[in-house]
A and B are shown apart, each in its own frame.
Chain A
């Protein structure tokens, strides 16, 4: 029996797929938190409902996953972050949205609620308030000769909004503190009562660069809840879309990181390849970013033999060009001077935060949802999960290049062996309330989706972006680096604002 099984025990809910969910008492909740902080589990997600808090945990020993629920009729629950800091921003958000109080939480500053909604606790007992905004108390930094640099929320490039407060001693960053929440759109509330068709379109607009991965995660959670078996061809096409999305983002960011180190020619080269990928996706899947290409039960459209030859040619072209671009990156001393040793994320921190994606895998983490929670069709493909331990900008770049190679290989395997058959299955009406969860590996890391469906409508849906466990680590990685290296380090993490703010 695994560690988690002993926690969820006999109290599992009947309709929750594929992992168990159990309502636990406060003694088990406290035991879970203590085991979590001792490193037996990893924190996958934590979210609220009107009178309950959910905690998704993964066992470090066997990747087993389970969801614990603590009912909190008196509006309080024992804080997880009190012992396990990675939960801090999640709990501040639960306070903001649901009005549930994490007992023992030191940092009770609002997180996504900037005092501008005209309502408090929009997902709990709503209270009307004024919308004039509240002052945010940044954490103190004291010492000789410190100066402050505030940046945002409107940044200098074409990027998303957020606020960064740097405290620097000369050029060296002493403390960076992020303030996020500017792009909070209230998606969790918009999901409530939505049809599955509408809700999956919302999911595809959580984070535009991961539109496929989010729709994929949503669809898998819904299909889990409704016991839908997706046709094999549809599953393979989904994987192809997900891998193209990974390649497009990795290519774009590889160029952009080099551009932040003033090596603009790489940006120009990578942008051409990225554009080719987007055009290929538009031709094959009807949209440059493949938005709304995944539906509950399958995919929106099949591809034909033209699309297959188009994809094959592009796979070949990228496979030929990429090694030469990487060689150029690797042999340009001025570029290496910027990326090697910059923005180091220590392996222990990445492990504590269960940091996903290339950020985690450049700091010693082996986790990749495609391998750890094998889901179809990834069990059919041969691929590797590259891992490095250096944790610097260079390691994150190198991992992404290796990941492009692996994705190209997966697409090649799909093109060679794409099974025939239908690409969508209609869902049978299911009675009662049913729940499902899913973890899908987006380009940035593992996206967690959980939902409860009743009478064909979403009753509640929670989507957790990988950035929740990456943003706090950026604050740690930048410490001691020079302020001028922040754009480079930041781009090498490329956390999502929209996915985080939801």
Chain B
């Protein structure tokens, strides 16, 4: 039985880290100043907030933890409370019913903090833009530092964005 438990993990199935995306680095360079980058460090605690997603983004965020992407090897980890978080990873077209919860989660996250809007809905409301029940872009409710596009973004894209955030911290661009 023990052999079964381990055999999937013999030999590395873990993907090589994806290269940084220039557009993401640029957006981050605009949004993070030198001081905050210095504080960011090499380890980040992420709190996910579903603000009206269809749950597609959540499935791919979940996949970041599997043996292929193994998020924690980069010093990135998901935490259960915004009080423990450096980064809010927000998905969905911000439904009006979730607006206050999103604002309160942001307020509960200690400074310095960063917000990543993941998925097309979080960027501009996606297909739900214009609904009576949705606000649309996350940036209409709280300040956003980085957008990761996709419907949903693949784990590789999510990883790219998160690593971009880490590397902007370590190697600030002039």
Contact = CB atoms under 8 A, between A and B. Distances in A.
B31 interface: no
A244 interface: no
B96 A131 contact: yes
A328 B98 contact: no
A324 interface: yes
Interface in A156-191: 156-161, 181-187, 189-190
Q: Which of A154, A184, A328, A498 has the largest number of chain B CB atoms within 10 A? A: A154
Contact of A208 (B9, B49, B130, B152): B152
B57 interface: yes
Contact of B53 (A208, A275, A278): A208
Contacts, number: 146
Interface string B48-66: 1111111111111111011
A461 to B, nearest CB: 14
B98 to A, nearest CB: 5
Contact of B81 (A156, A265, A272, A274): A156
Nearest to A208: B56
B161 interface: no
B56 A157 contact: no
Contacts of A159: 50, 58
Contact of A184 (B56, B82, B95, B105): B95
Given A156-B80, A207-B55, A185 B48 contact: no
Nearest to B62: A158
B63 A190 contact: no
Nearest to B93: A185
Contacts of B140: none
A497 interface: yes
A405 B11 CA distance: 28
Contacts of B65: 271
Interface string A240-262: 00000000000010000000000
Given A208-B56, A209-B59, A116 B96 contact: yes
A269 interface: yes
Contact of B67 (A154, A272, A325): A272
A185 B134 CA distance: 6
Nearest to A292: B151
A206 interface: yes
Given A156-B81, A182-B95, A278 B127 contact: no
A260 B4 CA distance: 21
Given A183-B50, A190-B128, A201-B127, A133 B100 contact: yes
Contacts of B59: 208-209, 252, 289
B56 A205 contact: yes
A463 to B, nearest CB: 12
Contacts of B53: 160, 183, 208, 498
A98 to B, nearest CB: 13
A226 B153 CA distance: 34
Nearest to A157: B80
Contacts of B61: 158
B97 interface: yes
Interface in B24-41: none
Contacts of A265: 5
A288 interface: yes
A105 B97 CA distance: 25
Interface centre among B48, B57, B82, B133 (most CB of A within 10 A): B133
Nearest to B152: A208
Contacts of B139: none
Nearest to B6: A265
A205 B131 contact: no
B154 interface: yes
Contacts of A211: 54, 56
14 contacts: A118-B96, A133-B100, A153-B101, A161-B98, A161-B101, A183-B97, A187-B128, A207-B54, A208-B59, A265-B5, A274-B63, A275-B66, A331-B1, A498-B54
Q: Sort A-B residue pairs by CB-CB distance and give the 9 closest, nearest first.
A: A208-B56, A186-B133, A271-B66, A156-B80, A186-B131, A208-B54, A208-B55, A116-B96, A205-B54
Given A131-B96, A154-B82, A271-B63, 19 more contacts: A114-B97, A117-B96, A153-B98, A154-B49, A159-B58, A160-B55, A182-B101, A183-B50, A185-B131, A186-B131, A187-B128, A190-B127, A208-B53, A269-B8, A275-B66, A275-B67, A289-B56, A291-B56, A325-B4
